[in-house]
Amino acid sequence: MRIPDKRVKLSRRRLLGSGGASLVAMTILPGGAIVGAGSAWAAHAQALQPTTFATLVQMSRDIYPHDRLADGFYAKAVETFDQAAAASADDKALFEAGVAGLDRAAQAAQGVAYAQVGWERDRTALLQAIESEAFFQRVRASLVTGLYNNPEVWPLFGYEGESASQGGYLYRGFDDIDWLGKN
């Protein structure tokens, strides 16, 4: 029986390499580029405003919070919103107006824009107030596939991917239950 090691492995070399790449990205990205503060992710918004994109990344993290996932995974999921906004004026209006409304609510409640609200609890309360709106429902529903269908995320959750091409689960660890103690 194989017991998967689900810990994220980060060597000193990899840490320094990603930090150096982030520094280079911050200095050479053209206008419209978004670099996550305190995180090693960068994206380029094509249709959405950079602040809208960054707010959607924070909103995505608050809707589906996973401490193991870096903001870059959320930014990759939000890129699908940017692509939808580029393809449809209605989608662009939905995302821009939705984020503007969320920022207005945050400004009224906290005195800052949504992405600058310091406590997750306060941001979650703002999201709960709009959870029945079309904007929130669109973001939430799209994130399910945008975030969890990313093969780069699967190992962080212990999912090894489909197994039909490798003989099925019968021969590929159907009994790998490392979370259940051995008797």
- Dihedrals phi, psi of 20, to nearest 5 degrees: -65, -40
- The whole-number pLDDT of residue 40 equals 47
Write out pLDDT tens, residues 36-90: 444 445 667 788 999 999 999 999 999 999 998 999 999 999 999 999 999 999 9
- The whole-number pLDDT of residue 151 equals 92
Domain residues of the chain, as ranges? 47-160
Write out pLDDT tens, residues 134-173: 999 999 999 999 999 999 999 898 887 787 787 777 777 6
> Can you give the pTM of this predicted structure?
0.71
- The whole-number pLDDT of residue 78 equals 94
Of the ranges 2-11, 59-68, 97-106, 154-163, which one carries the lowest mean pLDDT score?
Answer: 2-11
pLDDT at 19 over 90: no
Q: Tell me the helix, strand and coil percentages in the chain, rounded to 5.
A: 60, 5, 40
- Assess contact for 95 and 81: CB atoms under 8 A: yes
- The whole-number pLDDT of residue 2 equals 53
pLDDT at 25 over 50: no
Burial class from Cβ neighbours inside 10 Å (0-12, 13-18, 19+) for residue 156 reads middle
- The whole-number pLDDT of residue 21 equals 43
Burial class from Cβ neighbours inside 10 Å (0-12, 13-18, 19+) for residue 89 reads exposed
More confident residue, 108 or 172: 108
| Rounded Cα–Cα distance for residues 177 and 73 (Å) | 27
Q: What is the mean pLDDT of residues 16-34?
A: 45
Question: Where is 9: in which H helix or E strand?
Answer: none
pLDDT band of 182, cuts 50, 70, 90: low
| Rounded Cα–Cα distance for residues 63 and 101 (Å) | 17
| Rounded Cα–Cα distance for residues 44 and 33 (Å) | 4
- Cα end-to-end distance, the chain, whole Å: 15
